[in-house]
Amino acid sequence: MNSMETELTSALDAAAETVRAQTLRPLMKPQARRARRVSPWLAPIAAASAVALIIGLAVTIAGHVHTPRVVPPAVVAATAPPRYYIDIAVNNNTSVRNQPPVVMVQSVATGAVIGRIASPAGTVPVDVAAASDDRTFYVAYQANDGIRIYSFSMTARGTLTPMTAIKGGFVDAPDNNAMLSPNIALSPDGADLALSVSSTTVHGEQQRGWNDVLVVISLRTGAHRVWQGGLYRPGEVLSIPSISWAGSGTLDFVSFWCTSGGDTLCTPASNTQVRTLSVAADGGSLAASTVLLSASARYPGIAAVAAGTSGRLYIMALSRADAKGDVAATVDQVSAATGAVQRVLYRRGAFPVTMGPNVFGLRADSSGQYLLAVIYSLHWEELSGPGAPHELPGTSSADGIAWLRITQAVLRIRVLLWA
Amino acid sequence: MAVSRTEVPQDLADLFRARHLELVRLAALLVGDQASAEDVVQDVFLKVCARWDRLTESGVAVSYFRTAVVNGCRSVHRRRTIARRFGGTVEAALWAEPEPSAEAAVILAEDRRRVLRALATLPYRQREAIVLRFYGRLTEPEIAESMGISRGTVKSTLSRGLDSLGSRLARGGPGGPFPPVEGEER
């Protein structure tokens, strides 16, 4: 052990000793389960602090409406909700051992695990996407040296094929922090896979951004087209937390800037935007994108965007609901052309959070009939009922979700969930 | 032996009582604050209660506890990263200023604090491996099991982490220009 390692051991021991036995809270015993309608994980949640066990509930919003009578007649015929979704389970409730994150295919109706996909050695799954053939899926893995993209398929018999690395499916991200998870999205024609990744340029200077680079991978050739720069602001940190294809060749994304840098605190992001970028070129600057929507009184914080059909955008926004720090969330359908609100799809009043505003993900399918949203800290009892948004079973500890439709082509829904 | 969700087997209670402090300290070094660390361990305890009948050997259980705590800390870190993007804050780090107490100030002198601040700037996986190796005194196979990665990956992760740490310490010097750590306001 060299001197630095000795110094390191000494520092870690000293830091650990600041945690004294007499200051520990006594462990709480498991609580008895409620008689009905209580998810198995609610008891642990009630006992443990939300910091340790923040649970995101997936909320499905059917047909951008909740009842058949409000479905616009001109829209394509209603289809059944998807039967399965894939997710990245962080704390796999169904396994005997507490495993590292794993990609799982689950039933929308019951949450039953259809299959699990073993991760390539030395990687951790961070996001997922589904193709329009309903059978091909893409998973982004964080490896030591960067992001690696793999795919797997579901056979006609409902079995899952092993993971295979896609051509060009490595995005070099030296010094990349595994926790700066990339977002991925598959183009509607299935030709390109887009990622927002972090350049994480830590060289003794302030980081310029989290997920501040857009990369489009051609799934046919493996070629990369990269968009970076042009949106950096002095003293601020750029982040792209959400991306969505608005037709092949156009990528919508959410951008915001924090006023502090590094892998540290992000002060309230009041300057979020939804921007659109043509990615038909061979790459370039993010400055080539244009603003579709800016933060406003209605949208104080835009956290996720999903491009819909016919010029629709779906926006998930957060706002401070009260002085206690509770947060309100809305999911609106707006016009991409004018920014006008066309429909309020979902509204959640003040709900408590422990770590600031939380909005986790939003994805629409190409038919415009289903939208999957994930919002932190919702109580599922309040969401149940005919026609109302409802929780997807089995998603309480998921990290990323992709809905997929097995029986028919068309539907692609994927959501990024941070539980 | 099946165990109901409201019962805590005596052997589990004894084992956890003996390991409670050790697990909280490990978690505290990974998440940076005692409160979150206690929450992680509490969560693990509740999960183990529900599965105790399947974890019969104490050796397996201890290894399971550690892996579960490491996974729990990783989840906390991921959530914090996202929360920060939307203006969230996190608890002050154990090694952050101002001093949490005079006693802690003595225990955690500035030179050690400097090492910890440098450690906090490393990518989380490297930090995780280093804490398990140099605080937990785990072997590479044990680290591999706890982190769910291969031995080779453990070796390379540790190597990169130590190289980065060394260069950051050399570059920063006493009180050097490290980025602030979790919980430190600029």
Residue of chain B whose Cα is closest to the Cα of A126: B78
Chain CA centroid to CA B55, Å: 23
Would you state the pLDDT for residue B179? 32
- Does A43 reach chain B within 8 Å, measured CB to CB? yes
**H helix intervals, A36-174:** 42-47
With CA atoms as reference, the chain A residue closest to B99 would be A18
Partner B contacted by A351 (CB < 8 A): no
Cα A373 from Cα A94, distance rounded (Å)? 23
Tally of CB atoms within 10 A around A24: 16
Distances (CA, A) of B75 to A134, A227, A290, A357: 30, 30, 35, 17
**Residue in chain A nearest B31 by alpha carbon:** A52
Q: Would you call A357 and B89 a contact, using CB atoms and an 8 Å cutoff?
A: no
Spatial CB neighbours of A330, under 8 Å, sequence gap ≥ 6: A315, A316, A317, A344, A346, A347, A348
Q: At what angle do helices A3-17 and B124-134 cross, to 10 degrees?
A: 90
* Interface touch A5/B134, C-beta < 8 Å: yes
B-contacting residues of A 75-134, CB under 8 Å?
A: 90-91, 96-100, 121-122, 124
Per residue of chain A (419 residues), give pLDDT as tens.
Answer: 788 888 899 889 988 888 887 777 667 666 544 333 323 322 222 222 221 112 222 233 322 222 222 223 333 344 555 566 676 665 434 333 345 667 877 766 666 777 888 888 878 777 788 776 667 888 888 787 788 999 988 777 777 888 899 999 998 765 544 445 678 888 988 899 999 887 754 433 345 556 788 999 999 999 999 998 888 877 777 778 889 998 889 999 988 877 654 443 344 455 789 999 999 999 999 999 999 998 887 777 787 888 887 788 888 887 777 776 666 777 888 888 888 888 777 776 776 553 332 335 676 655 556 676 665 433 222 222 234 444 555 544 333 444 433 222 112 222 222 22
Residue B3 has pLDDT above 60, yes or no: no
| pLDDT score at A149 | 93
User: In angstroms, how far is the first alpha carbon of chain A from the final one?
Assistant: 39
Gap between the Cα atoms of A327 and A99, Å rounded = 32
Q: Which residue has the tokens 């280093």?
A: B130
Instruction: Reply yes or no on whether the pLDDT at B157 is more than 80.
Output: yes
Joined tokens for residue A168: 């060009």
- Cβ A151 vs Cβ A103: under 8 Å: no
Over residues B157-177, the mean pLDDT reads: 74
What is residue A399's predicted lDDT score, i.e. its pLDDT? 38
Mutate to test the interface with B, among A19, A359, A376 (most CBs of B within 10 A): A19
Asked if B6's CB is within 8 angstroms of A31's CB, the reply is yes
Q: Give the minimum alpha-carbon distance from A24 to chain B in angstroms, rounded to a whole number.
A: 7
How deeply is B168 buried, as exposed, middle or buried, from its count of CB atoms within 10 A (0-12, 13-18, 19+)? buried
Beta strands in A157-246 (DSSP E): 164-172, 183-186, 192-197, 209-210, 213-218, 224-228, 237-245
Q: Is A20 exposed, middle or buried (0-12, 13-18, 19+ CB in 10 A)?
A: middle
pLDDT at A415: 27
Phi, psi angles (nearest 5°) of residue A317: -130, 155
More confident residue, A377 or B152: B152
Report pLDDT for A398.
Answer: 38
**CA nearest to A118 within chain B:** B148
How close is the nearest chain A Cα to the Cα of B146, in Å?
Answer: 9
Other residues' Cβ atoms within 10 Å of the Cβ of residue A5? 15
pLDDT of A191 = 92
Asked if B83 and A269 count as a contact pair (C-beta separation under 8 A), the reply is: no
Dist. CA A83–CA A392, nearest whole Å: 11
Number of residue pairs across A and B with CB atoms under 8 Å? 253
Q: Which of A27, A41, A97 to mutate to test the interface with B (most CBs of B within 10 A)?
A: A27
- CB–CB contact A21 B21 (8 Å): yes
- Cβ within 8 Å, pair B165-A359: no
Q: Do A19 and B34 touch (CB under 8 A)?
A: yes
Collect all residues of chain B within an 8 Å Cβ-Cβ radius of residue A398.
none
